Amino acid sequence: MTLMNEPLVLLPGMMCDARLFLPQISLFSRNRSVAVMPLHGEKTVAGLARQVLDASPPYFALAGLSMGGIVCMEVVRQAPERVTRLALLDTNPLADLEERAAIRERQVKKVLAGELRSVMRDEMKPNYLAQGPDQKHILKLCMDMADALGPKVFEEQSIALQHRQDQCETLRSLTIPTLVLCGEEDQLCPVAHHELMHGLIPGSHLSVIPRAGHLPTLEQPKLTNRILETWLKF
């Protein structure tokens, strides 16, 4: 089912809030309802997906970045009949590798010991962005969002990501208009992950954003918005 100007639900990445999507909210809220759903209060991806479904309209377009994309995949697994179209941005359909899960364990211990800012500064933020004139401003925004959410949310989200399931079969079963989008220089969720998803999803569209890393919604907002605008008309 596709609807004209259906509500748009946006799911942010780990330790991000609605500010991740400010350029998209500004544009798309002119002609449709736009909601950014928080991803905390649960320690499983399945639980987070249920929260999103409980808070969303009966039918909606769904887009998520990074962890938000991971939860998007679980939303369409649980309730494919409610999602009219899907956009997966800078994300990963695969389960955590053991070594990645171990890194998360170590990071959680540091964060709960009062080192949230150092973990964000030294281990996460350096992998986020491509070089560009807005890099310093965007990195500060990332730190502000992390500070606002705090250590408990970091722990919840890390546990959810550690134990998430592979969603490749979910992607193979999709029949709705789907966009797969990523920054060309994304080091956290590289282009290869998006080529994999594009290959799994029948009829999907793949867009790779030049001069962008993990956060193209902020790094290249005009181009990202144009591509999302086209997706909303698929």
The 10s digit of each residue's pLDDT in 91-139 is 999 999 999 999 999 999 999 999 999 999 887 777 789 999 999 999 9
The answer, as to whether pTM is greater than 0.75, is yes
Number of domains in the chain: 1
Asked if pLDDT for residue 144 goes beyond 90, the answer is yes
Which tops the pLDDT comparison, 74 or 122?
74
Contact (CB, 8 A) for 106 and 192: no
**pLDDT recorded at residue 3:** 60
CA distance 167 to 171: 6
* Residue 25, amino acid: I
DSSP 122: I
Query: CATH number for the domain including 126?
Result: 3.40.50.1820
Average pLDDT over residues 14-41: 98
Distance CA 183, CA 130 (A): 8
Does the structure show a pLDDT above 60 at 1? no
The C-alpha angle with vertex 109 and arms to 42 and 122, in degrees rounded to 5, equals: 105
- Residue 55 DSSP code: H
Query: Percent of the chain beyond pLDDT 70?
Result: 98
**What percentage of the chain reaches a pLDDT higher than 90?**
92
Q: What number is the average pLDDT over the span 56-84? A: 98
Element (H, E) at 181: strand 178-183
In the predicted structure, residue 187 carries a pLDDT above the cut 80: yes
* Average pLDDT estimate for 3-12: 90
Domain that holds residue 11: 1-234
Burial environment of residue 9 by CB neighbours within 10 A (0 to 12, 13 to 18, 19 or more): buried
pLDDT, one tens digit per residue, over 149-176 is 999 999 999 999 999 999 999 999 999 9
